[in-house]
Structure 1
Amino acid sequence: MRRPFKAGLYRSYIDEDLRRTDDVDIFPVLQQRGFTAIITQDRNQLFYEEERRGLREAGLHWVGLVDVKGKGIRFHSQALSALATVLPDLIGSTLATPHAFYVTPDHSKALRTVVAEPI
């Protein structure tokens, strides 16, 4: 994701040395480091109010990969193709408040749709 999308900074929790950090503790750290969004499959971050509040307070958009199936290269290719299709719109987003974006791989469509809701 780093090469084609130079407008953003893409780093993993491993790159950021946050492997054993609880979600509610990660959000303020990401905010301090200048991140504006998190890409994840962890829907619990939206289900549990403490985590939703943490996302809101940190000003982080939640970009969720929904229904990505397979293992290994199949999983990664589905996730990357879905993200590559929608990231230009997300990067250009002017939403002032944190939103949740649900990204679903759908290989039957040339463009994937994204469902967004306020966090």
Structure 2
Amino acid sequence: MRFFLDENFPPLVADALAAVYGLEHAFSSAYEDRDRYASVLDIPLMPLVRDAGFDAIVTFDRQQMVKADERKAVFDAGLHWVGLNMNAPEGPDGIAWLSSSMLAVLPHLIDHNPGAPHLYRVKGVLRQATQVMSATPVWNSQLERTYGPS
């Protein structure tokens, strides 16, 4: 599949996705071809994306599936719509979180491949420290009592 990352999506995420799935799938950001995609409104953007050979658009623009004319433009272009329904943090944390969220969903999305255009709402991976890890000192007073001084 070929995925187009909308201009509201950080372009570095495309690099992370391509590093893992780039042999079988393609990921391109709107920033890679600014002359073609910069500031193009949603409805005229969809045929441009299709004509460039993409199968899906990845975006934060939740309104595309709410507004009937925009949703119809996605359908008419034959595109799958992949929307992230979340607010990403800024900077490197945001890039890491968006990349990991997309990496987690891509195997399921690629395997689903229903043929007809579908919309996929990506929920995102857990990102609170307590949700993704626990931290314990390697050595502590309880271990010292049990095993003796380090």
Residue 117 (structure 1) aligns with? none
Whether the 8 Å CA contact 1:82–1:106 is kept in 2: the answer is yes
Residue 30 (structure 2) aligns with? 13
Kindly indicate which of the two structures has a greater share of residues assigned to helix: 2
Residue 102 (structure 1) aligns with? 121
For these two proteins, the number of residue pairs brought into alignment is 109
Residue 58 (structure 1) aligns with? 77
Alignment partners' CA distance in 2, 1:3 and 1:82: 15
Cα distance change on mapping 1:68 and 1:78 into 2, 3 Å: farther
- 1:1-119 maps to which residues of 2 (within 5 A)? 1-6=17-22, 7-17=24-34, 18-107=37-126, 108=131
Task: Give secondary structure in 2 for the equivalent of 1:59.
Answer: coil
TM-score, length-scaled by structure 1: 0.84
Whether the 8 Å CA contact 1:68–1:75 is kept in 2: the answer is no
Alignment partners' CA distance in 2, 1:3 and 1:52: 30
Runs of 4 or more above 6 Å deviation: none
Cα distance change on mapping 1:69 and 1:14 into 2, 3 Å: closer
Compute the RMSD of aligned alpha carbons.
1.5
Q: Gaps (5+ residues) in structure 1?
A: 110-119
Alignment partners' CA distance in 1, 2:76 and 2:28: 21
Alignment partners' CA distance in 1, 2:104 and 2:71: 26
Whether the 8 Å CA contact 2:100–2:125 is kept in 1: the answer is no
**Percent identity between the two aligned chains:** 28
Per-residue CA shift, 1:4-57, capped at 9, x if unaligned? 112211111111330121111110011111101011110011111111000000
Alignment partners' CA distance in 2, 1:73 and 1:65: 18
- Deviation at 1:91? 2.0
- Deviation at 1:97? 1.4
- Deviation at 1:106? 3.1
